[in-house]
Structure 1
């Protein structure tokens, strides 16, 4: 793209006044007033022809792969062009990022250079730098040569789990202490570990009669708690989950709790997979194991985007069930407002609980609870309280039906969602329900 610079506009304006005076004073020589315009057009043409286009430009953006919500990060913009003059560059970004000191600046002279920019991550998701504008002036400074280059640089904006991680690690340490004593007792867990001499107080069902007869003494089987359980974190990112709770969307709080539980599960030796859905499945990661895999889970969690579509539980949970080839703990982060909208979900959950252990994680609807408890100062307050109370009762009906189908349900405060999930996960492991 080529367009005149501010210098060309001022030069044209400066030549208009003398041209008007010449035409006014010497009407027969009016064409002399056009000399300045013709001369300016000639300089503009030379300036435009001297500039190089897209073929002379090479640019790139270097940014970190991931950053936490609210954090600042630096990115390096490097551009090289054939022109001898200094160039200006500006990078395009989406709404998840905000420039700290501007999104562009001047590149050094001599054909190009680098420019350091700083951005702040405002919202969770995969932020992208989608295009790059670079422009430079011709030899006379009358024309801008501008090139728009498509770039592909993505930054995964991840939720900050550091605040709740300390509390979860404390819970894990307490559970590990309790399990350490339990594992030394025969009969704990389901995975065979070793044979040991039978001690008074052990259950008779732990005695291995065949080996006892072979060795001539009572031997008991000792088991250890299984560590390679399959944990599936299914996050609903539909319309209801994108509503804010205390200024933060529900899906963001669900992702934070899911990452916290994934961190604990990977530390405990279990396998973790992530599944995101709204009207159809959106994100599906394979099962991974080991603390080193947590970074990959974080990156896939950033791909769970906000959606305005209604959640299709039938398609999502059926797809999820078809991908599971062994018994798993399926943790579903979702929300609903009435029994009618949850009817299809209930039908699908009944088939899922036949083989898997299903846990529903929901946040308390503080807004509805506040409306239901509102003092009746006017008729509108009474109407709001009645409607809110009805919706809360329907919500409890759906929760009761989920429990009748064999699913576990946790309805926690939005600030306690992650720790509540970790506590229930550790409880499942201690009770050998996985």
Structure 2
């Protein structure tokens, strides 16, 4: 703990020193001693505020969480400041009498939130106490967990909205008959059991159970292209948001979930297992893009002779050379597995391609953007011809699009 005089004490000491020019020396010395005694008394009487910090140690990138620093003896003389490392932001960072702030995780991974600083003045305002800052707190910043949980809940309740895909119902349109129940307004018309409806005198629906215990593999490209920004996130951030949603839905549907992270080498591999989605999320949240080109053929061959699975490849089609490499490697995967290539769209490129130019530079930008979109559309068409489903969506919608592709594959018995 550190103690120091306040600006008020310094001003009074300066005033006493100046008064020595006009007051008798003995009186000036007495005044100085009295002031020093008051400073010492005030310093010794400064209370320990008893500060405590409350913050979650499990965070999601871009999702604000409360951070509070409370005192057993709050008061206006107490000031608190919370510093933050580069991957986190605290708003506001300072407060009087305590701190009621929001912690904004900016970057995925593991971060150390430093101890907070505090300053408390004595009742006379002559001395201040600086309690020792508390130790740092390790926090883990994951991809977008709240959105992933919402999607998993929507699948469980059969409320996964999708143009062209009606509500699934609590169990879905699988291939295994489960039971007959009363018709719900959200039911697909194909569920209606007309014989049971005629017999019961009210609409009745068939209930089918989604096939379970299937393998779902997420192959995550962590090469140099995935470091490119997409608004407030990188391409890898957007992909891992989608992987997180797919992993939680796989656990919800009792499928076996696994994953593989690659660039020019295999960086991490998790074999598919029941309930493996949460383990996959924990394992991947610290992954960052490298500066290396990605070897798709190596990644696909590393799957080995696993049984038929839904393989979701999370990559980007923005680079023509990389897209050609991906297109060349997909057939070896599609011969054995159901393959979906999940790739984020860049809203800035789409905007540049469709916004009316106001200057020559805007026209050049439009032409370049149109070329990129044309090349991307061609790559997507060739991937479809090679046997893959291509899932494209803006970063904020990519998780939902990936989950819908996964559920469609189950409904169509592609696994």
Q: Of the candidates 46, 53, 63, which is equivalent to residue 55 of structure 2?
A: 63
Which secondary structure state, in structure 1, belongs to the residue aligned with residue 319 of structure 2?
coil
Partner of 1:93: 84
Q: Given the alignment of the two structures, is residue 421 of structure 1 paired with residue 402 of structure 2, yes or no?
A: yes
Q: Aligned partners of 1:243, 1:262: CA distance in 2, in Å? A: 24
The answer to whether the 8 A contact 1:362-1:412 is kept is yes
Superposition map of 1:181-220 within 5 A: none
Which secondary structure state, in structure 1, belongs to the residue aligned with residue 320 of structure 2?
coil
Q: Aligned partners of 1:370, 1:225: CA distance in 2, in Å? A: 39
Q: Aligned partners of 2:404, 2:369: CA distance in 1, in Å? A: 30
> 1:78 and 1:381, CA in 2 relative to 1: closer, same or farther beyond 3 A?
closer
Partner of 1:331: 312
Q: Of the candidates 104, 108, 119, which is equivalent to residue 102 of structure 2?
A: 119
Q: Of the candidates 133, 138, 144, which is equivalent to residue 117 of structure 2?
A: 133
Q: Deviations over 1:186-227 (max 9, x none)?
A: xxxxxxxxxxxxxxxxxxxxxxxxxxxxxxxxxxxxxx9863
Superposition map of 1:140-155 within 5 A: 141-142=126-127, 144-154=129-139
Superposition map of 1:341-360 within 5 A: 341-342=322-323, 357-360=338-341
Partner of 1:217: none
Q: Aligned partners of 2:243, 2:134: CA distance in 1, in Å? A: 38
Q: Give the length in aligned residue pairs.
A: 365
1:130 shift after superposition: 1.8
In the superposition, the TM-score normalised over structure 2's length comes to 0.63
Q: Deviations over 1:155-195 (max 9, x none)?
A: 646443266556543357359543245799xxxxxxxxxxx
> 1:120 and 1:381, CA in 2 relative to 1: closer, same or farther beyond 3 A?
closer
CA RMSD of aligned residues (A): 5.0
Query: Which one has a bigger Cα radius of gyration?
Result: 1
List gaps (5 residues or longer) in structure 1.
81-85, 107-114, 185-223
Q: Deviations over 1:300-339 (max 9, x none)?
A: 565456x6x546423x984786477734433232324231
Partner of 2:243: 258
The answer to whether the 8 A contact 1:138-1:145 is kept is no
Q: Aligned partners of 1:9, 1:324: CA distance in 2, in Å? A: 75
Q: Aligned partners of 2:115, 2:265: CA distance in 1, in Å? A: 30
List gaps (5 residues or longer) in structure 2.
161-166, 180-208
Q: Aligned partners of 2:7, 2:270: CA distance in 1, in Å? A: 53
